[in-house]
Amino acid sequence: MIYFVGAGSGAPDLITVRGAKLLSQADVIVYAGSLVNPALLGYQKEGCKVYDSAKMTLEQVIEVMTPAAKAGQTVVRLHTGDPSVYGAHREQMDELDRLGLAYEICPGVSSFCGAAAALKAEYTLPGVSQTVILTRMEGRTPVPARESIEELAAHGATMVIFLSAGQVDALSRRLIAGGYAPETPAAIVYKATWPDEKVIRTTVAGLPEAARAEGVTKTALITVGGFLGDHYDRSKLYDPAFTTGYRKAEA
Neighbours of 33 (CB within 10 A): 17
Residue 237 above 90 pLDDT?
Answer: no
| pLDDT over 80 at 251, yes or no | no
pLDDT of residue 246: 83
Count CB-CB contacts under 10 A for residue 105. 18
Q: Which CATH class is domain 2-106?
A: alpha beta
Percent of the chain with pLDDT over 70: 100
The answer to whether residues 151 and 177 touch, using CB atoms and an 8 Å cutoff, is no
Give dist(CA 212, CA 166) in Å, integer. Answer: 10
SS3 string of the chain?
CEEEEECECCCHHHCCHHHHHHHHHCCEEEECCCCCCHHHHHHCCCCCEEEEHHHCCHHHHHHHHHHHHHCCCCEEEEECECCCCCCCCHHHHHHHHHHCCCEEEECCCCHHHHHHHHHCCCCCCCCCCCCEEEEECCCCCCCCHHHCHHHHHCCCCEEEEECCHHHHHHHHHHHHHHCCCCCCEEEEEECCCCCCCEEEEEECCCHHHHHHHHCCCCCEEEEECHHHCCCCCCCHHHCCCCCCCCCCCCC
**Mean pLDDT computed over 9-29:** 97
Residue 109 CB-density burial (10 A; 0-12 exposed, 13-18 middle, 19+ buried): buried
What would the pLDDT profile of 48-83 be if each residue is shown by its tens digit?
999 999 999 999 999 999 999 999 999 999 999 999
pLDDT of 243: 82
pTM for this predicted structure: 0.91
Which of 137, 163, 161 is closest to 34 using CA atoms? 163
Domain 111-228 in CATH 3.40.718.10? The answer is: no
Q: Assign residue 238 a region: left if phi > 0, alpha if psi is -120 to 50, beta otherwise?
A: alpha
pLDDT digits (tens, 9 = 90+) for 177-192: 999 999 999 999 999 9
Residue spans per domain, the chain: 2-106, 111-228
Contact predicate 180/198, CB 8 Å: no
So what's the pLDDT on residue 100?
97
> How much of the chain exceeds pLDDT 90, in percent?
89
Query: What pLDDT, on the 0 to 100 scale, is given for residue 249?
Result: 82
What is the Cα–Cα distance from 135 to 112, expressed in whole angstroms? 11
Question: In sequence order, which residues have a C-beta less than 8 Å from that of residue 244 and are 6 or more positions away?
Answer: 237
Furthest-apart CA atoms within the chain: distance in Å: 68
- At 247 the pLDDT is 81
Domains 2-106 and 111-228 share a fold: no
